[in-house]
Amino acid sequence: MEINFCPRCAHPLEDRALFGRVRRACPSCRYIFFIDPKVACGALIERGAAVLLIRRAVDPKKGYWALPAGFMEADEGPIAATMRECREETGLTIRVTGLFGVYTLSGDPDKKGVIVLYRAVPESGKEMPGDDASEVRFFKSNELPQNLAFASTRRVLFRWCVEQADR
């Protein structure tokens, strides 16, 4: 992302060595532009020995399977974002039962960041695709689809399958 003018005072920015790397900075008001990562939140929703996946209805990776997830808004916390995204994409209200892990986002070069992934169970609602999902389905570990959307989804499901085998 290239930013050329200061968002505070509109002065042209310059490249400066600051805090261990070259950053865009304003010589007038001393504003420093930091490229901050995006934060996504999602859930590994379990029902018995099965996990819920959505088939993506939009790019990136349209038609591929992923965990229900999306970007956190500035006015919500990660659990609230997870619950909202799951309701929007799956029709389900979930109960978060714990943190599953934090992973690097991958798959879309324009969206650098992390995904905070919670373990959850369905509480109410009916499984229905919504928002950017075309299908919602629970899979057992031996039924998982091969066309998974993102490397982070593959890493999470690999760990989940190992957990299932240990049970």
List active site positions. Answer: 135
Give dist(CA 69, CA 115) in Å, integer: 8
Q: Which helix (H) or strand (E) holds 25?
A: strand 21-25
Q: Classify residue 124 by its DSSP letter.
A: E
* Contact status, residue 107 vs residue 23, Cβ threshold 8 Å: no
Q: How far apart are CA 120 and CA 126, in angstroms?
A: 16
Nearest-angstrom CA–CA distance, 31 and 167: 53
Do β-strands 50-56 and 38-47 pair in parallel, antiparallel, or remain unpaired? antiparallel
CA distance 42 to 84: 9
